[in-house]
Amino acid sequence: MATSFNEQFDQHGAWRREFSLRLKLLAEWLKDHDLLDAAVAERLRRLEIQVRSDKLMVAFVAEFSRGKSEMINAIFFAGYGRRIMPATAGRTTMCPTEMGYDPEVPACLRLLPIETRLQPQALMEWRMVPEKWTRVDLDVNNPQQLAQAFERVSETRKVTQEEAHALGFWHPETPEDNPVSDAQGMVEVPRWRHALINIAHPLLKQGLVILDTPGLNAIGAEPELTVSLIPQAQAVVFILGADTGVTKSDLSIWREHLLPESDQEDIRLVVLNKIDTLWDALSTPEQIQSQIDRQKASTADILEISPSRVIAISAQKGLVAKVTKDAALLEQSCLRQLEDALGHGMLDQRQKILGSAMARGVSHLRCETERVIQMRKRDLTEQAIELKGLHGKNVSVIRHMRSRIAQEQSEFDQGGSKIHAVRSVHLKLLREVFALLGSKALKAEMAELTQALGQKGLKLGIKRSYSDTFDKLRSHWTRVQGLIGEIQSMLTAMFRQLNAEYGFALQVPDQPDMGACLAEMEEVQRSHLQYLSLGNTFKLAQPEFAERLVRALSTRLRGIHESALGDVELWSKSAAAQLDVQLRERRQSFVRRMDAIDRIQQAAGGLDERVQAIDQQIAHLDQLEEKLASLAERLVSAGDTVAAAQEPLSA
């Protein structure tokens, strides 16, 4: 039987905890041996945060009554022995619901009132205002209380057609898509705009985030879902009915919000749910399977994806089978196939990406630390040669050598002015990069688009404003790339000169790759274009929707800019710290050389003792270098296997 998603996620969590522990132990070892400079410490900190706080989001997307909530129950919460997410007939999840774990927040359900759509703040901003959410405390040890609390996500309220229109649920121009009005002309809409569930479920504690979305109407009215949340998901499970196949509204969701890029297909899974509706007592198992296979092939053809990405299951029977421990029914439900696809698709891909990032980070750590060790060894070797040359020399020769070392030190100190000048230019260019990618510049570039979207009535020419905004942003990125290249060239020239003049081993770190950020920005632009189509003309005419749209866009772009700034900051800090370390080591070398000469002058026989001590220090550095290589290799190998060796780190 295929390994369940829960078991595979446990293994992924064990790997992350193992790697995090090894990083901490490496940091302690480096600190104990005075090898933890600012750049190395920053790299270790970022790696540890990245591996510890890495989130894996699975987004479940479908129209109403496709069985999303039941599928979440079957895959993640069958251990409770009952349904946790509401999964009765009809519409259940009425608002987007995120499930995750934050140890700083007590177990609770937080609900954001639907009326907040009438205000300009983006969803991300509302997250920062917890007092505006309705909070329901949860008892994680009481499945019945959990289930009752979660039923609140299905709450609705009655509003007038005008209110429904303002909230984004009523569109006079497309009456066929509007909800049914009652005898008084009132319309039923969700009571809540967004729900956040925070519980200490074992999978959620390890970084899993589950996103449950409630159908086309809600997705289209909440731009942040398709612009920010869904694109960040490591896997998107698109659910259809096995009996109905791809309906018109299903196809609208797929084409408008989920159509993958050519290189993204592996994170999109299409699930034909409720195959138990095809289990006909008058048909043979072969006939039933043939019907399911035809539906899978037809679905793949309509959605233009590989047939291997379409999986047919019965979430309801899978949940029953897990609760009753019915192995035969679990096999018949095919739920394990979906769990296996999620595990080997999403988790394998995520662990590969994370492992690759960790390997690169560890490689940089090793290079920077080895550079310090090599410099110490070279300084000690030169000092040993210098001292051995004093054998049989008289006092005047030794005194002359002391004078020569003092002269070298003086010349070295005078050279610091050149380094200071280059650093000033470096910081000036860096400030310009930070200004171009800062929130103030982004807001200024978004001003024209904000103004265009804020106009009353039809937004004619909005695509031009949209295109112009992204052209300006791209010009900023081009300027940033030019500045980074300028800084890189300047540092390369300075490091080459210092290496030649002082025998340093400086190496400029690889400049940050802005290409990935540009590609992400292009993806944001493409994902937003759907909102500017003719089909959304009337929706864009609503100032509330237009404002939500531009805020969602600004939030996503700000995240891209902040990520790029973090990479630039680490790159700059790595170069500066490397120079600081080698300058400090050289100054300490002068002190050690002078100290050795003074000792030789004061005591006969001190020369041989000093040379012997230096040889021992070089041997110790050789041991440190070997140990560093061993620790780095073990860290990288931990990315390939969870069962890494448990040998403790020692000096």
pLDDT, tens only, 171-221: 777 777 777 888 888 988 889 999 999 998 888 888 889 998 877 566 666
Report yes or no: 235 and 269 within 8 Å, Cβ to Cβ: yes
- Mean of pLDDT values over 484-494: 90
How sure is the predictor about 533, in pLDDT bands with cuts at 50, 70 and 90? low
Do strands 192-198 and 108-113 pair parallel, antiparallel, or not at all (unpaired)?
antiparallel
Helix count and strand count (H, E) for the chain: 25, 11
Three-state DSSP class for residue 119: coil
CB-CB neighbours of 359 under 10 Å = 17
* CB burial readout 188-220, b (16+ within 10 A) else e: bbbbbbbbbbbbebebbebbbbbbbbbbbbbbb
Quote the percentage of the chain above a pLDDT of 70: 88
Residue count of the chain: 651
DSSP state of 235: E
> How large is the C-alpha radius of gyration of the chain?
31
| pLDDT for residue 648 | 42
Average pLDDT in the chain: 83
Q: In angstroms, how far is the first alpha carbon of the chain from the final one?
A: 45
Token duo for residue 647: 């040998």
Least confident of 14-23, 131-140, 472-481: 14-23
Q: What is the pLDDT of residues 69-84, one digit of tens each?
A: 899 999 888 888 888 8
Give mean pLDDT, residues 250-255: 85
The pLDDT of 556-575, averaged and rounded, is 88
Per residue in 492-514, pLDDT (tens digit) is 998 888 888 888 888 888 888 88
Are the beta carbons of 276 and 314 closer than 8 angstroms?
A: yes
Structure tokens at 416: 């610091």
Flag the least confident range among 100-114, 243-257, 478-492: 243-257
CATH number of 26-155+191-352, picked from 3.40.50.1370, 3.40.50.300, 3.30.365.10, 3.40.50.970: 3.40.50.300
CA-closest candidate to residue 548, choices 121, 66, 73, 102: 121
Phi, psi angles (nearest 5°) of residue 262: -60, -30
pLDDT tens for 607-616 read 778 788 888 9
CB atoms within 10 A of CB 184: 7
Q: How much is the pLDDT for 266? A: 53
| pTM of the predicted protein model | 0.70
Q: Is 391 exposed, middle or buried (0-12, 13-18, 19+ CB in 10 A)?
A: exposed
Which region among 24-33, 255-264, 640-649 has the lowest average model confidence (pLDDT)? 640-649
Domain boundaries, the chain: 26-155+191-352, 389-632
Q: What CA–CA distance (Å, rounded) separates 618 from 612?
A: 10
